[in-house]
Chain A
């Protein structure tokens, strides 16, 4: 039997795909599972490791089926394994440029160039920066955006956490295993985290919450040593001595690749219809990067299923 053709195909690096997915979080990898099961030649481009933003979460407790919770990193690995099982290829290459004017769409990455007949954007969000004096200067010199990465550096120290949403409160609870004391600063009059997390916050005697407070500036010499915060009701400014700060002040969409190519809403999220179609035919968006009322693993998985199915239907209709 002659295996030469099969062998040649296996050794050839594929440069064209029927579907390309940018982003390997819950939305992107779910879309890959659905496309793989539809026998669509699919590639997923990942920037860091499978899982997307979720890999920063120590334990996800509200994703159905995992009664005791599951680590974000483990869930990401399971998604990747599942997508590969059904034939999708995952490439560790950062996409640097897209051309959407004509099909096949052109994709440039940090290592190569590809084309694809359809595209799913699942690039997620990043932590919003505060844009206050000292933030840039002291990043990695006291300021961090990843508690699961950097909390051990603050063993026995006083730490600030900015934001009392789900991320801010959940990460404060994690940091409290290391830090001596944590002050959470929230701009709003109330925390917006889930009530179950607020209960845990109230039960933790290492954490204080200041609502209606604004971070004015981070200070220090070579390393972060204090922060000025302002009570927006009274106007009083306080200086807190801290060695570390973790910032969870909301999210911004990772829309750099499509900012001038797709219709975005006023906050920069990609506008889609109910079939997750964007303003360009054949381009879909799924998960946190699109205009959606809730950004959770569960909603991203739902988005990925719809986007994968709709990309498949788009490809079928073109035949």
Chain B
């Protein structure tokens, strides 16, 4: 399952989300909107979201850092 994480360098919840995924050995592709401004536009058009982090996996879209939701969807104990 491919996991995409939209982030911004100066976003604390993005840092927390990435750290959580790394701590649990989960591979993900990071798309940083401060490095790729076009990604912000694409994310807004595709998902209607104007905030990061946004984590896309399968049919799921997780907005913000929600540890319980991430654990449930990624089946982390």
Q: A: which residues have CB within 8 A of B?
A: 48-49, 51, 55-56, 58, 71, 73, 92, 94, 110, 139-142, 144, 146, 148-150, 152-155, 222-223, 244
Contact = CB atoms under 8 A, between A and B. Distances in A.
A148 B51 contact: no
Contacts of A92: 16, 19-20
A149 B50 contact: no
B10 to A, nearest CB: 4
B14 to A, nearest CB: 7
A144 B8 contact: no
B3 interface: no
Q: Chain A interface secondary structure, helix, strand, loop or mixed?
A: loop
B50 A148 contact: no
Given A146-B11, A244-B50, 15 more contacts: A55-B12, A73-B12, A92-B16, A110-B67, A141-B50, A142-B50, A144-B50, A144-B51, A149-B51, A150-B8, A150-B11, A150-B52, A153-B40, A153-B51, A222-B48
Contacts of B52: 149-150
A150 to B, nearest CB: 5
A55 B14 CA distance: 12
Interface residues of B, number: 27
17 contacts: A51-B12, A58-B10, A92-B20, A110-B68, A140-B63, A141-B48, A148-B11, A149-B8, A149-B12, A150-B8, A150-B50, A152-B33, A152-B37, A153-B43, A153-B51, A154-B50, A155-B37
Nearest to B38: A155
Contacts of B64: 140
Contacts, number: 71
Nearest to B63: A140
A153 B40 CA distance: 5
Interface in B37-53: 37, 40-41, 43-44, 48-52
Contacts of B15: 49, 73
Contacts of B67: 94, 110
A51 B16 CA distance: 12
B65 to A, nearest CB: 7
